[in-house]
Amino acid sequence: MTSSPATGRRPWTGAALVMLAWWVTTYGFGSIPIPALQPGWFPHLGVVLTNGLSLAVSLAVALLLRRAGWWERRPLRDLAGWRAGRVEAFGWLVPVLAIQLSYIWIGKTGVPGLAGTAGIMLSTAAGMLAVGISEETAARGLALGAVMRRHPWAGVFATALVFGLWHVGNGLFFGKTWDETWWQVLSAATFGVCFAGARLLIGSVWALAFLHGLGDWTQFLSPGAAPAWYQIAVMAFELVWGIVLTAVAVRRG
């Protein structure tokens, strides 16, 4: 049974709280050095567990917000985007899939391919899929799901901005230079616009979680970072394509 949508600032505040809870859990727990979570047979065990914990905390906060009346009393799986979605709209994701795969061929100084043993590749795949499910559920699922019915455009750009700012944690906790960090913030923000638009159009996060994990996997195993010109081109495309997807979703209602 559902009730009328929550109004006022509470849906927005709740969305911010979910994204903050995810960030605090991920970087708080993830920054604790625990050698046992990096075994030789599964180096990304810690990544999987950290993102599993972040996902659980995000869902728990969302459930409390829904019960407190801050969010619509829709099933949590609807807010999280844990639905099959509109399969007929999946074609809009083909350019995004192409970009995620392109990192196999676009590498440092043009060196193509993926680097690593079969074990490293499998471990990385598990870790990056966990990242995709956790981040997409928290950002494009719960946070965007709480506000997108009444404020689709604002929801897309607000969640994308916060998603970008999540990556400040890489500089604060994981030793990235601030030049690297702010570049990641910018690229994550445009990525967030694209994926938020896709969430509105498709109505699900599962395909997005897979594409997110796939892109992280190909970039992580690429022999080197993609050239700056290519990264700028990708960011420009993601921003424009996200706006197109959002416009189509809003027009279709």
User: What is residue 83's three-state secondary structure?
Assistant: coil
As a whole number of angstroms, the distance between CA 60 and CA 188 comes to: 25
Torsion-angle region of residue 144: left (phi > 0), alpha (psi -120 to 50) or beta? alpha
Please state the pTM of the whole predicted model: 0.94
Q: With contact defined as beta carbons under 8 Å apart, do 180 and 217 qualify?
A: no
Residue closest to 211 by CA, chosen among 238, 185, 236, 231: 238
- Identify the pLDDT of residue 121: 96
- Identify the pLDDT of residue 3: 44
71-78 contact pairs (CB < 8 A, 24+): 71/6, 71/10, 71/11, 71/14, 71/146, 72/2, 72/3, 72/4, 72/5, 72/6, 72/11, 72/146, 72/149, 73/1, 73/2, 73/3, 74/2, 78/145
| Tokens of residue 24, six digits | 């605090």
Residue closest to 54 by CA, chosen among 94, 81, 27: 27
What's the mean per-residue pLDDT of the chain?
A: 93
- Identify the pLDDT of residue 2: 43
Q: What is the dihedral of CA 164, 187, 25, 52, to 10 degrees?
A: 130
- Identify the pLDDT of residue 1: 37
Looking at this protein, which amino acid is placed at residue 183? W
As a whole number of angstroms, the distance between CA 50 and CA 36 comes to: 13
Q: The tokens 């050698």 sit on which residue?
A: 35
- Identify the pLDDT of residue 70: 95
Query: Residue 223, Cα to own-chain centre: how many angstroms?
Result: 23
- Identify the pLDDT of residue 175: 85
Q: With contact defined as beta carbons under 8 Å apart, do 45 and 39 qualify?
A: yes
Given a cut of 70, the residues of the chain with pLDDT beneath it are 1-7, 107-111
**How many C-beta atoms lie closer than 10 Å to residue 52's C-beta?**
13
Looking at this protein, which amino acid is placed at residue 12? W
